[in-house]
Structure formats: C-alpha cells, structure tokens
A and B are shown apart, each in its own frame.
Chain A
Amino acid sequence: MNSRNAIGPADGTGRFGRFGGQFVPETLMPCLRELEAEYLRAQNDPEFQAALAELLADYSGRPTPLYRARRLEKDFGGRARIYLKREDLNHTGAHKINNCLGQGLLAARMGKKRIVAETGAGQHGVASATVAALLGLECTVYMGEVDMERQEPNVRRMLLLGARVVPVSTGCRTLKDATSEAIRDWVANVEGTHYIIGSTVGPHPYPTMVRDFQAVIGQEAHRQIMAAEGRLPDAVVACVGGGSNAIGIFSSFLDDEVALYGVEAGGSDAGHSAALCLGEPGVLHGSFSYLLQDDDGQVLPAHSIAAGLDYPGVGPQHSHLKDTGRVTYTSVTDEQALRAFADLARLEGIIPALESSHALAYARDLAGTSDEGTVIVINLSGRGDKDTAEAGEAAK
C-alpha cells in the first residue's frame, strides 16, 4: 500500500477515484449519514423533484438561455462560434441558486430550522439568504473580512434578505477561513442546523449532491446546443474555484467527444488559486483533493482578484478528472480576466462576474487557435454587478 494513500474506507464510499471521502470531526459523522440518506430518498421522491423543478422554473427563471455571442466571436478572430450559457440570468445572478434551492428544500425536509453558509464572492451567500427567506429558515453566512470589503454590494443584499453576516477575521480573511468558521458553527449547532456548502467541495455527500443540483446547467446546455447547431460542441469552458459551475456543465458532456476545459485563477505576482494546476493532493474541509500546501502540509494562502475563486482547494471530482485526463485544467491571470470582463461588457452588453471572466479569457485563446466552425460553449456562471468597484479599482 502506498503510505500516502493509506486512508479511506475499503468500500470507496464517496470517492472519485482516490479523491473525496469524509474527513470531519466525529460530531458531524452521524449528521453526514443522515444527510446522505435523506438526499437519496429525495432523489427518488417525485414530489421533491417536482417542487425543485417548479422553483427552478418559476422562481429562478430556468431554463437559462444559451446565447450566441456574435460580436465576441468576431473579436476572438472570427473562426469559432461562441455560445454563452447564461447562468448570470438566474434569480440572484449566478448558478449558486440551483444548489441552494435543492439544499434548502432538503434542509426543510429534514426539519432543520436554520442554515449556515460560507461565501467568497457573496453569490452563494446571497443565494443561501434568498432561499432561507423563501423557506422561512434562519440564515447565518460567514464571510471573510477581505471579501466583505471587495464584494460589498452582496453583503448589503444578504442583510436585506434577513441573513446574519458574520465577518471572519482569521487567516487570510477570505473564503477558506469563512468555510472553516461555517464548519465550526455547524459542529456546534448540528442538531438543528443544515450547512449549505456552496461548491462541490467538503465531505461526502456534498461533492456529489452539489454536482447533481448543478447538473441542470449541463442538461440544458446539451439540449440547447443540439437545437442550435444540430451537433455537440467541440469544447466547453468553465471557471474552477471549488468547481460547482464547471462540474454542473461538464456532467452532461463527460461521455461525449467534447473537449472540456476548467480554468483556474492564475492570479498575479501576489499569488494564485490554481490548486489543480499547481497543488498537491491533501485534505482540507473534509475531502482529499488537490490543495495548495507547503512542505509541512500547511495550507497556503490563495490569491485571486475573483473572490469566488480565491480558495486553496478544489472539488474532489475535478481532481479525479484531472488525473484521468478527461478534463484539461489550465489557468489565466487576474489581468487576463479583467480584460475579458471589460471586453464582454463592451462587445455584448453583458457584465460578467470576475469568476466567469476567467472562462471567457481562456476561451479567447482557444478560439484564436481553433479551426473554422469550431463550436465553443462558455459557462457564464454569474453576473458582474458585484465586481464593478473591484474592476474599476484594478483598472487604475
């Protein structure tokens, strides 16, 4: 046995290859069991599925459009046909609501009266606060102080929605530290509280459950591109922080001959958040996955201009897809992302989230070197209203 992998149960529960697992304090284990069982029941319960489908349609506005960005195509060199999956048009402005509606219904089903959530960019916090308001649940959101400052509009939205926003002042005061604080709250209040993790990270069953709730993105995109082009795309591009929007859109194309690209935050001289490109496998926040860490196994600070990508870990299924080679993981810099942000606003009248701008920036490179008629789908995971101050500051 390879000593580094001498962890994990023999039956491979909650594993993606060697990644995933349940590395949490004992206090939470019974709760994870309960959550897994309830989730499996909900999946097979037509009533739950109907309730979720109704909310996704009537409350969030799904299906979101697949939009052909013709002016962007021209700017990208004119050879590729570029489609944007408009997750930014969801209620609350990002794909995060897909997961929150699912987990919120699940929390209510389990009789939980309170939800906790972590947030980086604030999009998951806003989506959690929204769903809590909708379902009459109490909501506490942990957010790093640095992020509260740079994503200030979202803090105001959460407060307006009735959530309590708790500033996190430990560590780097960003998403990683907010996640640790949310876990501590959950450990202390596990009986009546459900933790809505915002990405495909954390202990099993979260990476699977969040992926399933986000899979609607890929299911729609698959259908929509077939309708528009009469064939599958050549490539699908999505940004990867924890990786929920990416796994959501990838999941419908994994078995097809479609090139899949996950774009991490390459950051700047100040650092990066490219766990898959530059990290090594390790355990953070409950799962075994690629991780930015030093020689002593201490987690390294991440950096990205996009608060939602500013995280040193990544979802375990992405780690597996990297190792199998099914998905190509790459990164773009803060600067490239900022340029893509401005380009989409100027050319298409769409202000993308800085997170999504990473996917746009890589798609430019991809389109520039592709053959005539190549079809590329970009997951535009969220809108960028929250980023106008940050982008303006960076442009100075």
Chain B
Amino acid sequence: MTRLSSLTQRLRREGRKPLVPYLTAGYPDIETFAGVMGAAADAGCPLVEIGIPFSDPVADGPVIQAASQRVLEQGMTLRKTLDLAARASREHNLTVVLMGYLNPLLKMGLAAFADACGEAEVAGVIVPDLPLEESAGLRDLLLARDIDLVDLVAPTTDRKRLTEHAAAAGGFLYLVATTGVTGSTPGTNDHLEDYVARVRRDNPLPLYVGFGIADPSHAARVAACADGAIVGSALIRTIDAAEPGPAAVKAAAGFLTKMNAAMNSGKD
C-alpha cells in the first residue's frame, strides 16, 4: 500500500474526516504561504494540496486563476513548487498532494517530475487535464516511487468509468462536486449524498469531495456522507480578505479550524 493510501485508510478507520486545504504554491507570497501550511497542520489537517501554477488553468474558476497568475508573475515555477512541498512535508509533517496541469510536467519530463516528487516527499499528484485514458504512463512512473496519481470523478462519470477508475486509482478518489470549475457557486449540487453513494457502490477508495466547498455547513454536509473535503477558492478568498503576512495566516488558521470542527465535531 502506498504512503497516501495508508494515511487515508487509517483516517477512515479512525473515523476522522480530513479537511484538505488547497493553496496555490507561494500564494500570496512565500512567507504567508509557509505560514498557512503551518496553520493547516495546527488546525489538524493531516493532508494539504499544493497547486502548481499554470498559465491556462481550464478547470479553475476566477479565484484560483488569479492566484495562479499572481504567483507566476512573482516567479513561481514547478521546481520552486516542489521545494515548497518538501518544506511543508518536513517542517510541518504534512502529507502533500500536488495539483497541477499537464504541460509543466511534460516540459520537465514525466520521469524527472516523478523523481523530483519522490525527493520532495510528495505523496500524491492530481492532474485535472489528464483523464484516465491518458494517464497510465505517469501513473506507473509515480507508483514506482510510492506516489499515487489521484483520479478525479465528476457527476457526469458513468458507472462503467467509475469501475475503471476504481481499478486504476489510488490514495483517495477526488469527487468533483458539481459540473463546473473550482470555486463554483457553492451548494449547487442538491444530489451530493446520492452522488457519493453512487460512487461508493463501485469504489472502495476513500472519497474526498471538492469544488464549491466554501463554508462550515458545506463541510459538515460532505463529512456526513464522504470521507474528506477539499477547500481551495474559499481559503484563498479568506487569505485575500486579510493583509498578507501574519494577519492572513491568522485568518486562514481561523477558517481552517472552523471548517475542521464542522467536519469532526464530537471527535478529537
């Protein structure tokens, strides 16, 4: 079993519902970013997702697009993202999953990328524009280094594809909550519970729900039916509402603590 699967399975056994914060690498600046990683660990998040910035993020809404654009302007690269991932892992004992579009990975070379992930102690990689059919090569390269390629499924994914994902995927399964981009209008999926149940029927992996999870009530609703929740745009909006630096870190800490409490009330 991979490192990521060991962790997600253990959390499930223990009845813990992880809140997974997503933050674009180096946003809003390197120091604040590192502070938010620390805050995530302090808030009880075992896992974080770090976004590799890309110039043309087609699966992302305006908030993450803008974050991506800003860090690129500040000189963020895939190499530097990997350094930040290594720091989050070493300094805060966080399990790091990277999320990024395919082209920067291709440019580095997929084998070199897999090696670099191994060195940075990355546990999982999510590539939103690499569907199942195209993913075998990267998946094998990562698995050889004990890293999972985490699959995304969507409300449009039919039963046959779900079975195929179940056979290939590792770590956890990322359930895209709504048909749409990140930061979509929250709470638009009235059928979340049915959707999660449908995926669960064909899939033994822990199910983490993302896209549009913006406040503690959404997080609680996800925790009631799925195994984890991913929050990105709402965290970035929280950071944006404060001055970069300690104030932003404090705001993020408060937000993550509240979200985590909503998911794990009554548990330590």
Contact = CB atoms under 8 A, between A and B. Distances in A.
Size bracket of the B interface: 35 or more
Contact of A296 (B59, B78, B153, B157): B78
B104 A298 contact: yes
A208 to B, nearest CB: 16
A180 B141 CA distance: 29
Contacts of A297: 54, 78, 103-108
A13 B59 CA distance: 23
Contacts of B135: 7
B268 interface: no
Interface string B83-126: 00000000000000000011111111111100000000000000
B181 interface: yes
B111 A284 contact: no
B130 A23 contact: yes
B153 to A, nearest CB: 6
A283 B72 contact: no
B167 interface: no
Interface stretch (A25-33, A322-330, A375-383): A25-33
A282 interface: yes
Contacts of A270: none
A8 B57 CA distance: 20
Count chain A CB atoms within 10 A of each CB in B58, B72, B140, B141 and give the residue with the most.
Answer: B58
A366 interface: no
Interface string A336-352: 00000000000000000
A40 B77 CA distance: 42
Given A27-B179, A297-B103, A8 B58 contact: no
Contact of A4 (B109, B131, B151): B109
A298 B58 contact: no
B191 interface: no
B59 A25 contact: yes
A167 interface: no
Contact of A187 (B151, B161, B181): B181
Interface in A270-299: 280-286, 291, 293, 295-299
Count chain B CB atoms within 10 A of each CB in A7, A22, A293 and give the residue with the most.
Answer: A7
A13 B131 CA distance: 13
Contacts of B194: none
A184 B58 CA distance: 6
A286 B179 CA distance: 18
A358 to B, nearest CB: 25
Contacts of B140: 6
B244 interface: no
A4 B112 CA distance: 9
Interface residues of A, number: 47
Contacts of B106: 4, 7, 281-283, 297
Contacts, number: 149
A3 B109 contact: yes
Contacts of B129: 23-25, 283, 286
A285 B157 CA distance: 20
Count chain A CB atoms within 10 A of each CB in B55, B141, B152, B178 and give the residue with the most.
Answer: B55
Contacts of B57: 180
A25 B55 contact: no
B138 A26 contact: no
A170 B62 CA distance: 9
A148 to B, nearest CB: 19
Given A26-B157, A283-B129, A7 B137 contact: yes
Interface in A37-90: none
Nearest to A23: B129
Contacts of B79: 296
Interface string B176-215: 1011110010000000000000000000000000000000
B59 A187 contact: yes
B110 to A, nearest CB: 5
Contact of B56 (A7, A27, A171): A171
Given A283-B103, A284-B103, A9 B157 contact: no
A6 B184 contact: no
A26 B104 contact: no
A389 interface: no
A297 B107 CA distance: 5
A176 B54 CA distance: 14
Contact of B157 (A30, A180, A183, A293): A30
Nearest to B75: A296
B107 A25 contact: no
Contacts of A298: 54-55, 72, 103-104
Contacts of A243: none
Nearest to B81: A296
Count chain B CB atoms within 10 A of each CB in A25, A176, A291, A293 and give the residue with the most.
Answer: A25
B134 interface: yes
When A and B form their complex, which 10 residue pairs have the shortest distance between CB atoms, in order from nearest?
A297-B107, A6-B137, A297-B104, A3-B111, A27-B154, A188-B180, A298-B55, A297-B103, A299-B55, A296-B77
16 contacts: A3-B109, A7-B102, A13-B133, A25-B59, A26-B128, A26-B156, A27-B155, A29-B157, A170-B65, A188-B178, A188-B179, A188-B180, A283-B101, A296-B104, A296-B107, A299-B55
